[in-house]
Structures are given as C-alpha cells and as structure tokens.
Structure 1
Amino acid sequence: MTGIEEAEAQLSEIELLTSMFPSQNEFNIRDQLALAELREYVEGRTDYLPSSRPEFVIHQKMDTEDLKGVTVAISCTYVVDYPNVLPDISVRCPELSRAQQARLHADMNAHLKENCCGEVCMLSAVEWIKDNAHLYITKNPAAQGLQRVSTETPPVEVFTRLWIYSHHIYNKVKRKNILEWSSDLGLSGFCMPGKPGIVCVEGPQASCEEFWARVKVLTWKRIMIRHREDIPLHSQSGGEGNVTSLRRFSGFEEAMFDPHGNRGNHMDLGQLYQYLNERGCGEVFQLYFGIEGR
C-alpha cells in the first residue's frame, strides 16, 4: 500500500466513523487541522504528506448488564503507515485500574494484529472492547461474587499539584494537547508557553499522574517535575468539596505575560511572579528560577 493509498484509507475510516457516531459526545476529532491537511493531500491539493497525525476519541457506552452506565473513551492517533501498522489506541475508563488497562491494551493489540493486519481497524477495536471490556472492568464486585470482608485500610484520597518545567514550549500541537488533557481530566492550573515553559496542574492525584504520563512521552528537549505538592484528604470530610477548596486556580488557561524577544517567546517574569503571588503560589518562583520574585 502506497502513501497516498494509506492516506485514503485513513480519511475513509474517519468519514465512516463520523457517519456512525454523528454526535460530538460520541466521536470527537481532536485536531481538525490535521484532518484538513490529510484531506488536502488525498484530494491532490498538496504534494506533501501531512506531518500532523489525525487524533480522535470515541466514547462508547457499555451495554452488558454488569457494566450498565459505564462509558469508555477509546483514543486513537494515526501513524504515518496506518493501516499497514496499527495506530496508537488507548482505552480509558474510571473503573479500569492501571493493571487492568495494561492487560486490556495488550490483549486488544494482539487481537488487532492477528485479524486486521493491513486493514483499517477502529470498528474492530470498538467491537472487541464492547465484547470484552467486562473481563477487565470490575464495576460491582459483589454482583460478580468477588465481595469479601476486607481489613485493609481504605486508600487515602490525595490532592496533588504538579509544577512542571520544560526547556521551552513552542509547538502548537503540544500546547493544544496540554489544554485538552487538563480539561479531560478535570484539572486546574495554567501553561506558560515560550522559553522556559511552565505548566501547573492541580486536582485528584490520579488525574495529575495521568496528565504527567501523557505529557512526558511527547518529544521534549527537556521536561521535568520541578516541584510536587501532595495533600492527604483522609482526615477531612467530603472529599470532592475539599479538592475544590484546595485549588489555587479556578480553571486551566494558557497564560501569556507580555511576550517579547525576537520570536516573542520570552515572558515578563515579573508579571509571572505577580500572577503566582495573587494565587498564593509566589514561593514557587524561587524554585523555578533560583531567585526571589518581586
């Protein structure tokens, strides 16, 4: 299969999925620009194979009796050689532990490699997940005869705030991912693009760790967690309310502070300090830059 044939197969699959899942709540294309570039290439309006790869999410409700009310999010990012090579597919669901998720991914990919080699596979992936998700997701242990008396201490809920440092954040796709992933995971905070790049996310610990897991695997010159705050909630009542009260940021935003320099990629650090200080985070400035803010 040639490059243009692969691109045609990718576009045809997206158009089929769009017709099968007409609601944005069911099928959401994350990068419309990548889709537009793919269409231009297939239609011969450009000779260049798009560098951006289409990404989308299918939200699938489970209809088996033991998983009523459970929805899984099936994320897909095409690779250049798809369908000759499997795309990057991940399945996310609150009822899936990390171990269950790993097993599901391994078994699903093995099934797709055996049955969909050289062919588009997303409908097969969706059908496999609908048929097999109950083997990995434990929504109601009692209903499955798994209930037992436990003497273990209940897990401690933790509120987390991650302060992430990057050598730079220029790329528009990365910036878009950061905004979308923070929204998907219910996190608040901010992203300051430019050089250096700074990201703060706050919320439930599992959501913050999932955000970091997604971000760190992107291509970076340098990225690291500069500082981490973990606040146990077990001694406080009403866990969700406490998460809300501990937030320093009301939502997540991309924050720009008087961009300047030859490429407009440097920010006014004095304004950054004021921004942090107004939210009770002024002490973090010294952790990033080694000097006290003013």
Structure 2
Amino acid sequence: MASQSLQFLPADLMESQISVVDLLVAMFPSPGELDISDSTAEDVERVRAWCVDPTPMAKIPANLFLTVSLPVAETGKTIQVNIAVPLQCSDPANMDQPPPLGYSLRQPDWMSKAEIRQIATSIPQGDVMEAFEYIQAEATCFLENKECHDADSEKTRSGLGPREPMVRVWFYFPSLSTRRKRDDMVNLAPGYGLTGFVLAGKPGVLCLEGASPDIDAYMSFIKTHSWGDIPSHQKKVSERFRETNGVHRVFLGMEEITDSLGERGGQRANRGDMQALEAWLEAKGLQEAFEKVIF
C-alpha cells in the first residue's frame, strides 16, 4: 500500500507551530541557550508571512529544527535538547491539533550513552514545557544519585567511612551477546570502583572485583537501566561464586576479553572457548574460580 504524501498544515495549525518557536526564542534569549540556524530563521519568517497570505509556497521544509541548552537546576550543567517542529502531515483536512514535536538528546560528557538513552526514550510527546520539565527532573535526579555515590566512594577511599573488604564475584550468563550492553558493563564499572572482565558468548562470564556494596549497586543499576528494555525472562544471570577471604585485585581495570581471549598463532579463539578461558584464568591464579563458575 503506497504511503500518503505529506502536505502543509492549515494556516491555523501552522501558526501554532510558529508560536512554539516564538516561545522558545523568548524563553532562551541569551547567547548559547538557543541554537537556530540562519536558514531555519528564514523559514520561520517565510511561514509566518504565509499564515497571513496563504499562497503556494516553495522551499518550506517538513520540519523546523532547533536546539535548546536546557539548564539542570542548581548544578551549573546543561543538557542539549534537539527539537523538530513539524510543518507537514499526511491528512491536514482531518487535523484539529498540530502534530507533536519531536525530541532527541545530545549526550553530555557527564552521562553515558545508556544513561542518556534511558531519559530520551520516555520524553513526553505533548507540550514542550512538559517535555522540558521531565528532562530537567530526570537529569537532576541522575546527578543527585551520582553525587551521593561519588561521596560515599570518596569517604571509603579516604578512610572517612567504613572500608569494605575486597571481594571477587563471578556471574554466569547462559548467553551474552548484545554489544551495547557489554559496553555498558565495561564503561560503568570504574564509577563503582570495580575491576574485572566481561566474556561474551554461550556461556558468558562477568567477573567483578571491589567492595561488596559497590558490586551490588553496579549490578542493580545495570539490570534496571542498561537492561531496562529487556523482558525480565531474558535477564538470565546468576551469581556462581563469591570470593571473600584475603582477596586482592588481580585485574588492573575493567575490560572485555571476548575478541582477545586465546589468541594463538594469529588466530582468535571462538566465543565461548572455555579451554582458552581456563588457561587464561589459571595464569592469573584463578583456576578454582573457573571450576566453580563453569561446572
């Protein structure tokens, strides 16, 4: 079935969309607060004139694009919101409300891709003020939680708080394949003071070294946020082994070893090469862990 071609909105709905642009310009007057290109500004005035005298138009885009640097309350930080204001629709004759605005977020340097995606997927699609309030509230909550976690970690490192003993915990996955979720496991671990490794495949293995509360908090965040879009029955992970006595860090950082494990003579080991994993762990003095995790 052929898709319907887009047509310009009626003049009254077009005026509503232009009024949104005018509102944003008034709300964010300072340099750097609102990014609107010269060509977009020209399109706005062209559409404004058309609303007064609706003659056939040319060179009018399907959307007007703007970017707002939205302040996050009392933090000094901002989050950039890309806004698309649609000027066309497939059936303007039967529309009594303008089509909803589109939103996307640019990743700030204080959030990971997974964290910014978590906010972006739930932005309200109605009123622009409602969308802004949601984004600001979610970003503020994120920063407050991060500040609390960083403060607790700093207290532990500086000796101002109780120093938790080091543990090493091993998790088993029947299958671990999604690249983005593996990247999250690696990228989020340093923020919790954790070291270890991720191995994808069938089975998959996750090893974490650090304080027990930090490991628990990390796994809770991973399951809630990074894996938030996965049905619960697919979040199959089990803790197989927890080392608690006289544990010292073996790993310098957090890494994924899937592609490098078992390299021999220029050939990469297959994912799930348990013999290669066994030899690799044995070289690090972790043979007991392999036997408890895999078997």
Superposition TM-score, scaled by structure 1 size: 0.48
Larger radius of gyration: 2
Superposition TM-score, scaled by structure 2 size: 0.47
